Homo-oligomer: A and B are copies of this chain.
């Protein structure tokens, strides 16, 4: 708003929801990757005109930044939260993999095949910038840190490194064959569940 001659004028309010638009764009990037996503596809998904997209997000790259941030907040965060919580144990980690298994099992093929937006970005790093590269590296580090928190005191630290790699492989596999990914996720959950108890074992 602006003032002039003591009068207060209020501008026309926004007609589209920013979160809705970013989410729609996120899904296109997620499914097709950054480089293979065209502006016209983003227009179709968001329902916004090219002018509005440019005016609001500055560029394709700017919209991608918003999409990636949204992905971290609404997809990665909630799924990883129980594992990142203080005191998380094998049960929480197994639940993480079981949750993914159920997702691959139940979600429609088109959704299950999207893999991970940030890992998919690893293939587009040639077309993006160093900022995008560190974004992906930080994501990987965050996953490994969460896994490591559960491993400490129970299994060697290298287990977290390997589990992180397996998780990355899991998301890539889901792009190839969601059913295979489902099976794999269950195997990972089973493996974590088989870890020895860390404290006083239950008297049986």
Residues of A within 8 A of B (CB): 31-33, 35-36, 115, 119-120, 122-127, 133, 136-137, 140, 158, 161-162, 164-170, 172-173, 175-177, 180, 183-184, 187-188, 190-191
Q: Which residues of B contact A190 (CB under 8 A)?
A: 158
Nearest B residue (CB) for A177: B137
- Select A184's contact among B31, B133, B137, B162, beta carbons within 8 Å: B162
Q: Which residues of B contact A173 (CB under 8 A)?
A: 140, 165, 168
- Select A165's contact among B120, B133, B166, beta carbons within 8 Å: B166
Q: Which residues of B contact A137 (CB under 8 A)?
A: 176-177
Give Cα distance in the complex from A152 to B112, angstroms. 31
Q: A169 near B175 (CB under 8 angstroms)?
A: no
Q: B126 near A36 (CB under 8 angstroms)?
A: yes
Q: Which residues of B contact A191 (CB under 8 A)?
A: 158, 162
Q: Which residues of B contact A187 (CB under 8 A)?
A: 158, 161-162
Q: Which residues of B contact A140 (CB under 8 A)?
A: 173, 176, 180
Q: B123 near A175 (CB under 8 angstroms)?
A: yes
Q: Which residues of B contact A120 (CB under 8 A)?
A: 123
Residue of A140, A162, A177 with highest tally of chain B CB at under 10 A: A162
Give Cα distance in the complex from A32 to B35, angstroms. 11
Give Cα distance in the complex from A166 to B168, angstroms. 8
Give Cα distance in the complex from A26 to B201, angstroms. 55
Q: B127 near A36 (CB under 8 angstroms)?
A: yes
Q: B176 near A165 (CB under 8 angstroms)?
A: no
Question: Nearest Cβ distance between residue A124 and chain B, in whole angstroms?
Answer: 7
Give Cα distance in the complex from A184 to B26, angstroms. 30
Q: Which residues of B contact A188 (CB under 8 A)?
A: 162, 165
Q: Which residues of B contact A180 (CB under 8 A)?
A: 140
Question: Nearest Cβ distance between residue A150 and chain B, in whole angstroms?
Answer: 16
A-B contact pairs, 13 of them (CB 8 A): A33-B123, A35-B35, A35-B36, A36-B126, A140-B176, A158-B187, A158-B190, A161-B184, A165-B168, A165-B188, A168-B173, A169-B169, A169-B170
